Amino acid sequence: MRYALDDTQHAFVEHVRDIAQTHLAAVPATEGRVNRPLLLELGKHGLLRGLFGGAAEEPLDLSSGDAAAMQLCLLREALAQTSTEAETALALQGLGSYPILQSGRPSAVERWLPGVVTGEVVAAFALSEEGAGSDAAALSLSARADGDGWLLHGEKLWISNAPEADVYTVFARTTADAGARGVTAFAVPGDASGLSGEHLDLLAPHAIGRLSFDGVRVGPEDVLGEVDRGFAVAMRTLDLFRPSVGAFAVGMAQAALDAAVDWACTREVRGGPLVRQQAVEHALAEMATRVEAARLLVRSAASSYDAKAPAADVTSRAAMAKLFATESAQWVVDQAVQLHGARALQRGHLLERLYREVRAPRIYEGASEVQRTIIGRGLVRARGEEQ
C-alpha cells in the first residue's frame, strides 16, 4: 500500500471533484479557444493555487521554486474524471508558468504568477517547432544579441493556448550549432511587439496554435535560468509534468471504465445484462487492471520527484508513467466505446469526447516513442555506471 492515499489526500481529491461537479461543470464549454471564464472559476476556487503546492486557503508562497508532483497528479486525475476541459485548462497554466516559478527572476515571478493563480493571466509553454518536435534540441527559433538583450526570429508550432496566452515560456537558440547546450528560455509577453499567431484546428478540442516572432525583443530580466542552459529548464519542467500527463490519462480511463461498467450492468441483451457475457466481463477486468497499474506508476513517479530522487531515476520513472498511462488510456477508452456501440460516437456523449481527447497525450510532451528511448537509454546508462 505504498502509494495508497492518506486521509488528507482523500479529502483533497473529494474536494476537487465536488468543485468540478458543482461549479466547473456549469461553465459553458469552448473548443479550440482558451476558456477564460473557466480559468477564472478554477482560480476562484483555489485549484490553480494547487498547481504550486499547499492548500487553497494558505498564503501563496512563490519562493520555493518548485511544486508538489503528487498533489499535481491527484488534482489532474480528479478533474479529468469530471471535466477534461477544466483539467486541460489547469494543466496548461501549470506547464506554461512552472518554468517562471522554477527559474525566473523575482521580477518575472512577481509579474506573472499571481495572475496565473487567479486565472487572469493565461500561460503557455512554447518549445515545439515545425522541425523540432520530438527532437526539441533541434529548435531553430533564433535569439540574436541586441545590446543587453536579444531579438527573437522564427516560428513555434503546436503551442497550447496560442495565440491567446498572456505570457509564453519560449525556448530559443542563443548559440548556433550547439544543440541542447545553446538554448535559452525566456518569459515573453503575449502582446510583445513583433509577436503574432494563428489558431490550428485539431481533433483534440483544446486551444492550440502557431506563433511567429519577427524581432520580438527580450531583456536580461526575461531570461529563465541561465543563458544557453534553457534545455535544462525544459527538461525539469517535463520531469514534473510527464507523470501528471499520466494522471490525466488515468482520470480519463477511469471515467471510461465507470461508464462501461454502468452500461454493461444495465444494458439488456438476450434476456440479461450485457455483463453476464464472459467476454464483456473479461474486458472490464482487463480495463480495470490497466487503469490501476497506470495509477500506481504515476504515483511512483510523483513520489520519486517529491522525494528528490536522483535526476536519472526521476526522468525514467516520469517517462514510464507517461508512456504506460497514456497508452493504456487509449486502449481503455476504445474498449468502452466498443462496449457501448454506435451511441458512444454521437456528438456530446462522454465517450465521444474522451475518444477525441485521449489521443493527443500519447504525442505531446514527448511521444510514446520518445519515452521508450528515454527509458532505454536510462537502463544502458545505469548499467555502465554499475560497471
Residue-by-residue pLDDT tens, the chain, 387 positions: 467 888 999 999 999 999 999 999 999 999 889 999 999 999 999 999 988 875 555 556 666 666 789 999 999 999 999 999 999 999 999 999 999 999 999 999 999 999 999 999 999 999 999 988 777 778 999 999 999 999 999 999 999 999 999 999 999 999 998 888 999 999 999 999 999 999 999 887 889 999 999 999 999 999 999 999 999 999 999 889 999 999 999 999 999 999 999 999 999 888 889 999 999 999 999 999 999 999 999 999 999 999 999 999 999 999 999 999 999 999 999 999 999 999 999 999 999 999 999 999 999 898 999 999 999 999 999 888 776
Measured between its terminal Cα atoms, the distance across the chain in Å is: 34
Structure confidence at residue 111 (pLDDT)? 96
Structure confidence at residue 202 (pLDDT)? 86
**Any domain includes 264:** yes
Find the CATH number of the domain harbouring 139.
Answer: 2.40.110.10
Q: Nearest CA to 337 among 322, 353, 323, 321?
A: 353
Find the CATH number of the domain harbouring 235.
Answer: 1.20.140.10
Structure confidence at residue 132 (pLDDT)? 83
Q: For this structure, is 365 an active site residue?
A: yes
Whether residue 197 contacts residue 244, with contact meaning beta carbons closer than 8 Å, is answered with no
Q: In terms of domains, do 135 and 218 share one? A: yes
Cα–Cα–Cα angle for 319, 324, 329, nearest 5°? 130
Q: In terms of domains, do 160 and 17 share one? A: no
Show which of 229, 247, 271 is a domain's final residue.
229
On the question of a cis peptide bond just before residue 99, with omega within 30 degrees of 0, the verdict is no
Q: In terms of domains, do 235 and 280 share one? A: yes
Cα–Cα–Cα angle for 154, 171, 229, nearest 5°? 135
Q: In terms of domains, do 43 and 157 share one? A: no
Structure confidence at residue 121 (pLDDT)? 98
Give 328's contacts (C-beta < 8 A, 6+ positions apart): 249, 253, 290, 291, 293, 294
Whether residue 185 contacts residue 103, with contact meaning beta carbons closer than 8 Å, is answered with yes
Catalytic residue from among 365, 369, 385, 386: 365
Q: In terms of domains, do 16 and 69 share one? A: yes
**Any domain includes 2:** no
Q: In terms of domains, do 207 and 250 share one? A: no
How far apart CA 302 and CA 305 sit, in angstroms, is 5
Q: Which long-range contacts (CB under 8 A, 24 or more apart) does 196-204 make?
A: 196/163, 197/159, 197/162, 197/163, 198/163, 199/32, 199/33, 199/162, 199/163, 200/158, 201/32, 202/32, 202/360, 203/356, 203/359, 203/360, 204/356, 204/357, 204/359, 204/360
Helix, strand, or coil here: 339? helix
pTM score, two decimals?
0.92
Structure confidence at residue 244 (pLDDT)? 95
Name residue 168's beta-bridge partners: 124, 188
Show which of 122, 152, 169 is a domain's final residue.
122
Q: In terms of domains, do 321 and 251 share one? A: yes
How far apart CA 335 and CA 135 sit, in angstroms, is 32
Give 171's contacts (C-beta < 8 A, 6+ positions apart): 126, 127, 136, 139, 141, 183, 184, 185, 186, 230, 231, 233, 234
Helix, strand, or coil here: 58? coil
Domain with 198, as residue range(s), is: 125-229
How far apart CA 112 and CA 100 sit, in angstroms, is 8
Q: Nearest CA to 188 among 173, 209, 172?
A: 172
Give 136's contacts (C-beta < 8 A, 6+ positions apart): 127, 128, 171, 180, 231, 234
Whether residue 318 contacts residue 238, with contact meaning beta carbons closer than 8 Å, is answered with yes
Tell me the Cα Rg of the chain.
21
Q: Copy the grid coordinates of residue 172.
A: 530559443
**Total count of domains within the chain:** 3
Structure confidence at residue 62 (pLDDT)? 64
Q: In terms of domains, do 103 and 11 share one? A: yes
Whether residue 28 contacts residue 75, with contact meaning beta carbons closer than 8 Å, is answered with no
Q: In terms of domains, do 243 and 381 share one? A: yes
Structure confidence at residue 4 (pLDDT)? 80
Helix, strand, or coil here: 37? helix
Q: Copy the grid coordinates of residue 125.
A: 509553454
How far apart CA 15 and CA 17 sit, in angstroms, is 6
Show which of 229, 262, 282 is a domain's final residue.
229
**Any domain includes 52:** yes
**Any domain includes 173:** yes
**Any domain includes 318:** yes
Say if residue 200 is exposed, middle or buried (CB neighbours under 10 Å; 0-12, 13-18, 19+): middle
Structure confidence at residue 387 (pLDDT)? 63
The Cβ of residue 240 has, within 10 Å, a number of other Cβ atoms equal to 25
Q: In terms of domains, do 105 and 252 share one? A: no
Give 150's contacts (C-beta < 8 A, 6+ positions apart): 143, 144, 172, 174, 184, 186, 217, 218
Q: In terms of domains, do 214 and 355 share one? A: no
How far apart CA 265 and CA 304 sit, in angstroms, is 39
**Any domain includes 332:** yes
Find the CATH number of the domain harbouring 82.
Answer: 1.10.540.10
**Any domain includes 1:** no
How far apart CA 183 and CA 175 sit, in angstroms, is 7
How far apart CA 66 and CA 248 sit, in angstroms, is 20
Q: In terms of domains, do 105 and 140 share one? A: no
